[in-house]
Chain A
Amino acid sequence: MIKHLLSVTQLSPEDINRVLDTAESFREVGTRVIKKVPALRGRTVVNLFYENSTRTRISFELAAKRLSADVINFSTSGSSVAKGESLKDTALTLQAMGADAIVIRHSSSGSPHTLTRWVEASVINAGDGTHEHPTQALLDLYTIREHFPSFEGLRVAVVGDVLHSRVARSNTHALVRMGAEVTLVGPPTLIPPEAQAWGVQVSHDMDEVLPKLDVCYMLRVQRERQRQQYFPSVREYSRLFGLTRERVAALPEGALIMHPGPMNRGVEIASDVADLPRSLITDQVTNGIAVRMALLYLMLGGTGEEAA
C-alpha cells in the first residue's frame, strides 16, 4: 500500500477494492460491543486540521481510536496553528513527537504534498483546497458498492460547481478508474477547462442526462460564486441545475441521490427533496469510519518495503 495518500489517482483499481473489502471487516467491528481492535496499538495518528470540519475530524479520530492508536488533534482554534506558526515548523514538531500518520486538511491545494517533504510519517490528505478529498471518494465508492454490484459501466453524473470542488475531482478520478461512465453537469463557467482529459463527458443540460443515471451526485454550490459572476443569479442556477422534485421523478427507479454535505437548500437542491439523500447520511457516517480505519490499517500495518 502506498505510503502517502495525497490523491486518489495514486490508487489502482486493485488498491481501491482492497480498501473497500478491508472496510467491510471494519464495518463489522463497528457492530460489536467493544468497537476496538488492537491492530495499531502504540501508533500515533495526528489530525492536523487547518480548516474546521468537525465531521471529518471526528471520523478520523474514531477510526484511529478504534484501531487502538493514540490520537492527537491539532486544530485551528486554540493551538500554535492559530498563532501563525508556519506549516513547516508545525511539521517539524510533529516529526519530533514521533507521529506515525498525519491527517491534514488545509485550504491550500498541494499542502499535503508539501508536508511530505518535512516529515517521515504517512500523510493522508483529508481535503486540500480545491484539489482532492480522497477519503471522501473512497467512502462514496463504498456507499455506491452497497447498492450496485459493479462500477463497470455505472452511469454517474456529478452536478454543480466542479471547478471549486475537491470532492468532485476525487470522486470523478476514482469512478473513472473503476470503469464508471461519468458525466460532469453544470454551467460552462463551473466545469474546469480541459476536464474531458479526465475521461468524462460534459453536459450543460441536466434534464437530458437525468433519465439515464444510476447515481446522481450533487455538489454544493456556494452563493458567493454568483457574486464572482460564475452564474448570473441563484434563481437561474437552480432553475437549470438544481435538483427539484420534478427532476427526482425523472431519475430511473433505484437511482441513488448523493450529496457530500452540507447542503445549500434552494441552490443545488430544493428544500422539499433535501431529505432524500438524507437517508444515506447515517450510512455515510458509519461507512466513513470503516473506510478510514481500513486506510489507516493498510497504510500503517506494513513496513512499506517491497515483498521479497
Chain B
Amino acid sequence: MGFRPRGRLLDEGEIRRALTRIAHEVLERNKGAGDVALVGIAARGDDLARRMAEELRRIESAEVPVGVLDITFYRDDIGLRGEAPEVHQTLIPFDVSGKTVVLVDDVLYTGRTIRAAMDALMDLGRPRAIQLAVLVDRGHRELPIRPDYVGKNVPTRADDLVRVLTNETDGQDGVEVGEVSA
C-alpha cells in the first residue's frame, strides 16, 4: 500500500504562519501564558508543539512547558487490526494537574485520537482545562470533539489520506492530500 499525492494543502510558509497565528490565539484566549502547557500528540503533533512553544517564547518571552503524549494504549481499535498499533514515546516532564493543557495534533479527523488523548491526560493528572490546537481540520467527525485553534479547514473525501510532513521528522514541511495506491 502506498500514498499517491494529489495536491499540497499547506506549504512551509503557510505552516509557519498558521502556527504563529495559533500561538497568538492561545495567548489571547488564555490571557497570557500563565498556566498553559503544550502537549503534542505523537507523532508529529510533538514537533508542532515544540515550534509553538518557540513562538510563545518569541512573542511573549514565555517559557511554556512542552510534553509529548503517545496515545496508542488508549486507542479504541486495539485488537481490531492485524498487528497491534505501533507505540511511540510519552514524555511529560511536568505535572498536568492544575494546568491549561493545549493538546496539539497535526490533523483532526474522526476525533478518536483526541478522545484517546483526553483519557490519557486524565490518567496523568487533573488539568484545569484542556484545549485543542490542530494544524488541519479535515472534517468527518465521528465523535463530538471540536478544536479551539485551527490552522486550516480543509474539506476532504472520506477515503482520502492527509499526510503531514515536518522538518524534524521527515526533513521537509508540508501537508499533502492524496489517495491510497494499491
Asked if chains A and B are in direct contact (CB within 8 A), the reply is: yes
Q: Judge whether B91 and A298 touch: CB under 8 Å.
A: no
Binds B, one of A35-43, A48-56, A247-255: A35-43
Distance in angstroms from B90 CB to nearest chain A CB is 5
Per-position binary interface string of chain A over residues 13-47, scored 1 when its CB falls under 8 Å from any chain B CB and 0 otherwise:
00000000110110011001110111110010000
Instruction: Verify A303–B73 contact, CB threshold 8 A.
Output: no
Contact of B79 among A34, A36, A303 (CB under 8 A): A303
- Please tell me if the beta carbons of A40 and B82 are within 8 angstroms of each other in the complex: no
* Main SS class of interface, B: loop
CA distance A138 to B150 in the complex (A): 44
B123 CB to nearest A CB, Å: 5
In the assembled complex, B70 has its CB within 8 A of some CB on chain A:
yes
Chain A 285-308 interface residues, beta-carbon cutoff 8 Å to B? 297-308
Tell whether, in the assembled complex, residue A29 and residue B87 are in contact, meaning their CB atoms are under 8 Å apart: no
Contact B124 A34 (CB under 8 A): yes
Q: Tell me, rounded to whole Å, the shortest Cβ–Cβ distance linking A284 to chain B.
A: 22
With contacts A25-B87, A28-B89, A37-B123 taken as known, whether A303 is within 8 angstroms of B81 at the C-beta atoms is yes
Residues of chain A within 8 A (CB-CB) of B90 are 25, 28-29
Tell me if A190 counts as interface (CB < 8 A to partner B). no
Taking CB atoms and an 8 Å cut-off, the chain A residues in 263-298 that contact chain B are 297-298
Which of chain B's residues has its CB closest to A42's CB?
A: B79
* In the complex, residue of chain A having the shortest beta-carbon distance to the beta carbon of B124: A32
Find B84's partner among A37, A302, A306 (CB 8 Å cutoff): A302
B interface bracket (residues with beta carbon within 8 Å of A): 20 to 34
In the assembled complex, A119 has its CB within 8 A of some CB on chain B: no
Partner of B80, one of A22, A43, A303: A303
Answer yes or no: A1 CB below 8 A from chain B CBs. yes
- Bound-state CA distance A145–B74 (Å) is 27
Q: Give every chain B residue within 8 A of A24 (Cβ-Cβ).
A: 89
Majority secondary structure, A binding face: loop
Contact of A302 with B1 in the complex, beta carbons under 8 Å: no
B 47-104 contacts with A by CB, 8 A:
70, 72-75, 78-85, 87-91
Q: A299 to B82: give the CA distance in the assembly, Å.
A: 10
**A40 smallest CB distance to B (angstroms):** 7
For A67, what are the chain B residues with a Cβ–Cβ distance below 8 Å? 73
Q: Is the CB of B123 within 8 A of A302?
A: no
Kindly list chain A residues whose C-beta atoms are within 8 Å of the C-beta of B74.
37-39
A25–B123 touching, CB < 8 Å: no
- The answer to whether the Cβ of B179 comes within 8 Å of any Cβ in the partner chain is no
B168 interface residue, CB < 8 Å from A? no
| Cα(A308)–Cα(B2), bound, Å | 12
Closest Cβ neighbor of B97 among chain A residues: A33
Is there contact, CB below 8 Å, between B87 and A21?
yes
**Contact between B79 and A301 (Cβ–Cβ < 8 Å)?**
yes
Alpha-carbon distance between A40 and B91 when the two chains are bound, in angstroms: 22
Q: How far is the CA of A84 from the CA of B89 in the complex (A)?
A: 46
Q: B124 to A38, Cβ gap below 8 A?
A: no
Contact assessment for A22 and B87 in the assembled complex, using a CB-CB cutoff below 8 Å:
yes
Contact indicator per residue, chain B 118-149, by CB within 8 Å of chain A (1) or not (0): 01100111000000000000000000000000
23 pairs of residues in contact across A and B, judged by CB atoms under 8 Å:
A21-B87, A25-B72, A25-B88, A28-B89, A33-B125, A34-B124, A37-B73, A38-B73, A39-B73, A39-B74, A39-B75, A40-B79, A298-B83, A298-B84, A299-B84, A300-B84, A302-B79, A302-B81, A302-B83, A303-B82, A305-B82, A307-B82, A308-B1
List A residues at the B interface (Cβ < 8 Å): 1, 21-22, 24-25, 28-29, 32-34, 36-40, 43, 67, 297-308
Please give 17 more A-B residue pairs, beta carbons under 8 A apart, in addition to A1-B83, A39-B72: A21-B87, A24-B89, A25-B73, A33-B124, A39-B74, A40-B79, A297-B73, A297-B87, A299-B84, A300-B84, A301-B78, A301-B79, A301-B83, A302-B82, A302-B84, A303-B81, A308-B82
Top 10 A-B pairs, shortest CB-CB distance: A301-B84, A37-B73, A39-B73, A302-B83, A302-B84, A34-B123, A307-B82, A305-B82, A25-B87, A22-B87
